[in-house]
Amino acid sequence: MRIYERYFARQIYLTFIFILFAFSGLFFFFDLINELNSVGHGNYKFQYAVLRVALQTPSRFYEIIPVAALISAIYVFAQMAANSEYTIFRVSGLATNQALRSLMKIGIPLVFLTYLIGEVVGPYTDQLSERVRLEALGSSVSTNFQSGVWVKDTLTARADGEQVTRFVNVGELKPDATIANVRIYEFDSKFRLSNVRTAQSGRFQPPGHWQLTGVTDTQLIDVPPPAGTPADALNPVYRAKQVSLPEYSLRSELTPQILSVLLVAPDRMSMFNLFRYIQHLTENHQDTQRYEIALWRKVLYPFAVFVMLVLSLPFAYLHTRAGVVGVKVFGGIMLGMSFQLFNTLFSHIGTLNTWPAPLTAATPGLVYLVLGLVGLKWVDRH
């Protein structure tokens, strides 16, 4: 890197670290206050609340990094403008496009850092955070249904190649990935109920089986109508055959990784887990819009660092008479918050209107990139 690039990088990185930890500390305080509502329930003590919020800090880093990059760059350039340092750089031959390229170089490590936190550290610590809370409260995964979690499972399980569709109800998904209070409703290729299976608990056995214990298997067998009487499809007659088994090995496409997505919001899952879950939903002909948008946001979000740095460069061309440093930094904070708000709002709008996921995820960044380039063009001319 050139001398001025090293100078820019050192100033921006030092300010970035300070702002990142300052904002994360603020969010830590707010998250801890929110978590105090659960303290006292079960075995959930204050130290567990602190541990849970601390484990969520990497995900907060992931959310804050682009905004921290914007604020730190604005602060550095505002200081340079106030001290006429940037004017000296320009007089020495630093063109606008050169400064922009230098900022992009400075942003590359921040993009890699965002990917590292968002794909490796954040999802892992978020799952640990949920497990700490569940173990302390002694409860299962909270869902919108009082009956538990419902998952569709489709596979070819019979010797004749007939497709079987299952609707699996998991009453409890425990932190160690075991399941309890399981009910399985199995349908044939004509979507006729053929089997109802209940189990007290289950544990996954790779590569594709669940070892169920305390199983009650109820098989529904068609009873043919009396001779000369036509079959009534709307009022079928079945004969039930019930068997109790201490253990049963069930082949299934479901894995603990698929079920574990219920522990973490889509925005905090890794791209790999999101992709696997989207594949599962697609194979079972279920709506994937929400998770596709989340996947594309994960792909594109780290590049928001570049967008934020482009937005910060025009502040280097605004001299002290155009506003004090504090006002510029406050403007940068508002600009960063507006980007986060617009990004989240546009994702919800895209989900409601079923817009293409790549377009929904990319539009906020493109809008703010255009604003940054227009602002840079304007200050360069004036």
Of 69, 21, 128, the C-alpha closest to 306 is: 69
> Do 17 and 130 belong together in one domain?
yes
Strand partners, 186: 166, 195
For 91, other C-beta atoms within 10 Å of its C-beta total: 9
Domain count, the chain: 2
pTM reported for the whole predicted model: 0.72
Contact 7, 32 (CB under 8 A): no
Examine residue 221 and state whether it is found in any structural domain, yes or no. Answer: yes
> By residue range, what is the domain housing residue 344?
3-138+289-381
Distance from C-alpha of 76 to C-alpha of 110, rounded to nearest angstrom: 16
How far apart CA 186 and CA 60 sit, in angstroms, is 42
Question: Using CA atoms, how far apart are residues 325 and 379, in angstroms rounded to an integer?
Answer: 17
Residue 123 and residue 55 in one domain = yes
Please state the rounded mean pLDDT for residues 52-67: 92
Given this model, what pLDDT does residue 72 score? 92
Q: What is the pLDDT of residues 211-241, one digit of tens each?
A: 999 999 998 887 777 776 776 666 677 788 8
**214 and 294 share a domain?**
no
Q: Which pLDDT belongs to residue 216? A: 92
ω into residue 246 within 30 of 0, thus cis?
A: no
Rounded CA separation 52/31 (Å): 10
Domain boundary among the residues 240, 259, 278 is at 259
Does a structural domain hold residue 196? yes
* Domain assignment of residue 59, yes or no: yes
Residue 347 lies inside a defined structural domain of this protein: yes
- Other beta carbons less than 10 A from residue 314's beta carbon: 21
Judge if 33 and 156 occupy the same domain. no
Residue 143 has a pLDDT of 46
38/124 same-domain check: yes
Per-residue pLDDT at 224: 75
Please name every residue paired with 201 in a beta bridge, in sequence order, or none if there are none: 180, 213
